[in-house]
Amino acid sequence: MLNIVVLGAGAIAATHVDALLQSSDLCRITAVCNRHVEKAQKLIQEKGLNAAACSNLEEAFAAGIPDAVVICTAPALHCNAAVWAMEHGSAVLVEKPMANSLEECDRMIDTSRRCGVLLSIICQMRFTTEAQRLRILLQTQEFGPLRYASVDSLWWRGPQYHDPAWRGTWASEGGGVLTSQALHHIDLLQYLIGMPQRVTAVMSNVGHPNTQCEDVASAVLEYPDAFVQLSASLVAQGEQQSLHFYCKDGSLSIPWEPTACRAMPNGYPMSDPEQLAKLNTIYNTLPELPLQKHPAQARNFLLALLGREPLAVNGTEGRKPIELITAIYAAAATHTSVTLPLVPESPFYTLAGKVANLPIYHEKKHSVDTTESQPITFPK
C-alpha cells in the first residue's frame, strides 16, 4: 500500500483526493498539507480521510517519508516543492502547469533523474476515450494525412477570478488564459500530432483589469505538412472548447463530430454518407478507457510506482505544453515568428526573462490572501 501526501487543500486538491480514493486498493492518503492548517483539516473531514493535517511538507515527512507527494499548490510553488520532495526520497505528481518557466521544468526533470524517483505532471485530457481513439486514427492516418487543424479553448471568468493573491501576475501564475486554461488543449494538440516547427501569435487583455497577463490569444502553428490555428479566451461566455483535425479523407474532432465530403464535378462539396459511416464505425470499435481524466492518470502514476505499468506522463512530457506556450508568448511579445525547440539562451527561458519581456496589461491592484474552496470548471 502506497503512502501519499497531498500538498495543498484547495478545489484542485479535492479533485486529486477523489481520484486517489478511486484507487484505494493501491494507496492511502496519510497527510494533507496547507499553510492554513484549518483548510487541510476541513478537506480531511469532508473526504473522511484518516490523515494528518500539516502546515508543510517537512512536518508531514517527519512522520516518515511517503512514497509520493501530490502537489496542488499555486504554480509558483511547484518547482521548489517538487525538488524538495524528490531530494528527500519521494516520487511526485504535479498538477498543471508543471512550472512557471522552462528553467524550472528542467530543474525538476534533472532532480528526478539525479534522485532516481518518478516525476509526473497532470495532463488529464490525454486520459479520455476520445483522445486515445483520435491518437490512433491520426497516427495510423486511417483517413489520410492531416492538412489543417483548429483548436478553440474558449472559457469565461468573472472579475473576481484574479482576486487570489497567487493569480494575476507573470511571476506568480506564470501567465493568463494560455497557461491556466488553454494548456489543457495545447497539451492535447501536441500529444495528438506533435510539436510544431514555428509559431506566430498575438495576445491581449480585453476584459480582466486585475491581472498583468493575457485573457485572449490567437496563434498559428506551422507543421511540415499541416497548419493549425489556436484561439484562447477568458471572455467567451458558453465556454466552447474543441479540437478539429481535417484530414484528406474526413475530419475528426473532440468532441466527436466527424464529417466527410466528396467533390461534385464542379469541385464544390457534397456529403459522403458512406465515408461518414466508415469514420463512425472505426471510431466506435476502438477501445474505451475504464477510467477517465484525473482518476485514470492517478492510477497510472500509482501503478508505475509499483512497477506494474509504464509512466504515461513523465517530466519531459509535462514540459512540452510549457515550451509551446512559452513560444506563443515569445512570438506575441516580439511580434515575430518563433522557431521550436526553444533554447536556454532564449530570453523567455527563465521566469525572470518572462517577467522582463512580457507585456503588463494591467497592474494587479486587489488581492485576497486565501479564499474558501468553491466549485471550479474543468475542460470539456
Determine, yes or no, domain membership for 304: yes
Confidence of residue 374 (pLDDT cuts 50, 70, 90): low
Q: Are residues 118 and 178 in the same domain?
A: no
Peptide bond into 97 cis (omega under 30): yes
Cβ proximity of 217 and 202 under 8 Å = yes
29-43 per-position pLDDT tens digit: 999 999 999 999 999
pLDDT for position 102: 98
Helix 102-115 vs helix 78-87: crossing angle, to nearest 10: 10
Determine, yes or no, domain membership for 370: no
Q: Are residues 114 and 148 in the same domain?
A: no
Mean pLDDT of the chain: 96
Q: Are residues 147 and 104 in the same domain?
A: no
Bridge partners of 364, per DSSP, are none
3-state secondary structure the chain: CEEEEEECCCHHHHHHHHHHHCCCCCEEEEEEECCCHHHHHHHHHHHCCCCEEECCHHHHHCCCCCCEEEECCCHHHHHHHHHHHHHCCCEEEECCCCCCCHHHHHHHHHHHHHHCCCEEECCHHHCCHHHHHHHHHHHHCCCCCEEEEEEEEECECCHHHHCECCCCCCCCCCCCHHHHHHHHHHHHHHHHHCCCCEEEEEEECCCCCCCCCCCEEEEEEECCCCEEEEEEECECCCCCEEEEEEECCEEEEECCCCECEEECCCCCEEECHHHHHHHHHHHHHCCCCCCCHHHHHHHHHHHHHCCCCCCCCEHHHHHHHHHHHHHHHHHHHHCCCEECCCCCCCCCCCHHHHHHHCCCCCCCCCCECCCCCCCCCCCC
Domain of 284, in residue numbers: 126-289+320-357
Q: Are residues 97 and 118 in the same domain?
A: yes
Cβ proximity of 32 and 54 under 8 Å = yes
pLDDT for position 325: 98
Of 278, 313, 348, the last residue of a domain is: 313
pLDDT for position 372: 62
Number of domains the chain is built from: 2
Q: Does residue 221 surpass a pLDDT of 90?
A: yes
Determine, yes or no, domain membership for 376: no
pLDDT for position 354: 98
Neighbours of 298 (CB within 10 A): 29
Cβ proximity of 103 and 344 under 8 Å = yes
| Distance separating the N- and C-terminal Cα atoms of the chain | 33
Determine, yes or no, domain membership for 257: yes
For the segment 333-349, the average pLDDT, to the nearest whole number, is 98
Determine, yes or no, domain membership for 352: yes
Confidence of residue 369 (pLDDT cuts 50, 70, 90): confident
Q: Are residues 116 and 136 in the same domain?
A: no
Cβ proximity of 320 and 190 under 8 Å = yes
Q: Are residues 173 and 234 in the same domain?
A: yes
187-202 per-position pLDDT tens digit: 999 999 999 999 999 9
Q: Are residues 115 and 192 in the same domain?
A: no
58-95 per-position pLDDT tens digit: 999 999 999 999 999 999 999 999 999 999 999 999 99
Q: Are residues 285 and 177 in the same domain?
A: yes
Q: Are residues 157 and 58 in the same domain?
A: no
% the chain with pLDDT above 90:
95
Lowest mean pLDDT among 148-152, 302-306, 330-334, 366-370: 366-370
Q: Are residues 274 and 299 in the same domain?
A: no
Q: Compute the C-alpha angle 150/152/156, nearest 5°.
A: 170
Determine, yes or no, domain membership for 39: yes
Tell me the C-alpha distance between 380 and 378, whole Å.
6
pLDDT for position 370: 63
For the segment 127-155, the average pLDDT, to the nearest whole number, is 97
Q: Are residues 158 and 245 in the same domain?
A: yes
Tell me the C-alpha distance between 373 and 377, whole Å.
13
Determine, yes or no, domain membership for 364: no
Give the CATH number, domain containing residue 353.
Answer: 3.30.360.10
Q: Are residues 284 and 135 in the same domain?
A: yes
Determine, yes or no, domain membership for 363: no
Tell me the C-alpha distance between 12 and 33, whole Å.
13
Per-residue cell: 379: 475542460
Q: Does residue 124 surpass a pLDDT of 70?
A: yes
160-178 per-position pLDDT tens digit: 999 999 999 999 999 999 9
Helix 315-334 vs helix 102-115: crossing angle, to nearest 10: 160
3-58 per-position pLDDT tens digit: 999 999 999 999 999 999 999 999 999 999 999 999 999 999 999 999 999 999 99
Give the CATH number, domain containing residue 70.
Answer: 3.40.50.720
Tell me the C-alpha distance between 93 and 13, whole Å.
12
Q: Does residue 371 surpass a pLDDT of 60?
A: no
